[in-house]
Amino acid sequence: MKNSFRYIKAFSWNHRGAFGIAIVYALFAIGGSLYQGAIPILATEVFSFTLFQAGLLLTLTGVIYILTDGPIGVLVDLIGCRNGALLGLGCAATTALLALSSQSLAVFLIGVIFFALSWNIMSISSAAYILRTGGKEVSGRLFGIQGSLFVFGNVIGAFGVGHVSAGGIAYSGLVFLLTSLAAGAFVLFFLHPNEIATRSASLKWFQWRPGIQAMRDFAPVSWVSALNGFVNYTFGSAIWLIIPLSLARLSNNLFPEGTALGIFQFSGIVTIFAGGYLADHHSRKKLFLILLLIETVGVLCLGIVNNNILIFLILALLATSALDAAQPVLSSMLSDVNKGKNNEGALEGFTGMLSDFGFLVGPLVGGVLFETFGLNSAFIFLGILMILNWLASHWLLRKFDSRILTAAVYT
């Protein structure tokens, strides 16, 4: 504990800014995760959607992510990460106000669009801020702090999903509005207003050239990041569809929807920071591949044994702990290959666009398998996808040399 306080106290102003954007992202995540978990429940219970239609609605958010990732990434490079965060929180507040103003289907769908935009802008802005301002020697711990706080916000929001059925649209909107306003105030008073933007960024946002160039600059880690993001988004979007709906059907008060979603998030509070810490002291490449393998085994076992709640909890914690811990390791590997060209936003936007195809695959394939063959089949599908991800990542990183950072400043 003493070393943790010494580490935070030793932050330069840039690192304190990275810590600040992590808190902003976590506050946003509280309302954002609750609203995300509420979407399929509200769609089926309030607007009488079928399971397939609810899956299509979640797929709509994936389409929005894919269409806007590239433009948002270049925009963030143009206006700066701080202003990007304010823009994302503005979209979040719009979502919340729409939810509070009307309960019509049209307004609900418009709110889902603004929700997708807010989540996308916040994700790109926060990751680009840390890549731009954090040093290679502490990047693992910076991304670890960001991820741990973000998951903590997700856990709080996930446990609130169980009240969506009773509170309805207004409940989801009110929580999202309060957390967005709190995050906005934190941006204004904590983040430095002179965070540098890349004023030379192209205004032709829909060209692929900035994103492709950024992928080349950060290769091969950029391609591993895109592939791993696709698999993780497929997993996450499938889970956030099938777990709430399967438990809602059971009406099990001892294991409600919010609790189940919280289980898939809770371990990350500790393991993400642990992964980031280890990434600053060990071979990042080896650590990432080991965690990826543990994650794969855990998800495959969930597909074989998930009818016992205790075993389900243990396997879910194992799989998600490894998945969460791998994220700051991979992000710190991006810092290893960062050439300082101020195109971090373009990178995050383009890798995000490729990753976000997982939002198309997860709800549709996971929902169909769950509805047709049961919960086991959905986990087996996700496990097979993770095996392919491990093999591809191992091949892509075959020539990547991640040095052990033994001379880190903050130890």
Q: pLDDT value at position 259?
A: 53
Query: Quick one: CA dihedral 85, 88, 89, 90, positive or negative?
Result: positive
Residue 148 has pLDDT above 80, yes or no: no
Is residue 22 pLDDT above 80, yes or no? Answer: yes
**Long-range interactions of 165-171: CB distance < 8 A, separation 24+:** 165/41, 165/45, 165/248, 168/42, 168/46, 168/103, 169/38, 169/42, 169/46, 169/99, 169/100, 169/103, 169/108, 170/99, 170/100, 170/103
200 within some domain: no
Contact 32, 115 (CB under 8 A): yes
As a whole number, mean pLDDT of residues 8-27 equals: 69
pLDDT above 60 (res 247): no
Inform me whether the pLDDT recorded for 261 exceeds 70.
no
Q: In the predicted model, is pLDDT for residue 252 greater than 80?
A: no
Instruction: Determine the distance from the C-alpha atom of residue 213 to the mean position of all C-alpha atoms in its chain, rounded to a whole number.
Output: 24
- Give a yes or no: residue 104 inside a domain: yes
In a domain, 407, yes or no: no
346-392 tens-digit pLDDT:
788 888 788 878 877 877 777 677 767 767 778 888 889 999 999 99
- Domain span at 309: 7-191+208-396
**pLDDT above 50 (res 254):** no
Element (H, E) at 233: helix 221-250
> pTM of the full predicted structure?
0.70
Whether residue 160 is contained in a domain is answered as yes
Whether the pLDDT of residue 253 is over 50: the answer is no
Q: Which residues of 14-41 are buried (b: 16+ CB within 10 A; e: fewer)?
A: bbebbbbbbbbbbbbbbbbbbbbbbbbb
Q: Is the pLDDT of residue 325 over 80?
A: yes
The fraction of the chain above a pLDDT of 70, given in percent, is 75
Structural domain count, the chain:
1
pLDDT, tens digit (0-9, with 9 covering 90-100), for 272-304? 878 888 887 778 888 999 999 998 998 888 778
Residue 196 lies in a domain: no
For residue 202, being part of any structural domain is answered with no
Note whether residue 201 is domain-resident.
no
What's the rounded Cα separation, in Å, for the pair 138 and 276? 9
CATH number of the domain at 296, please.
1.20.1250.20
At 218, the pLDDT band (50, 70, 90 cuts) reads confident
Output the average pLDDT for the chain. 76
In a domain, 401, yes or no: no
Higher pLDDT, 320 or 116: 116
Higher per-residue confidence, 213 vs 407: 213
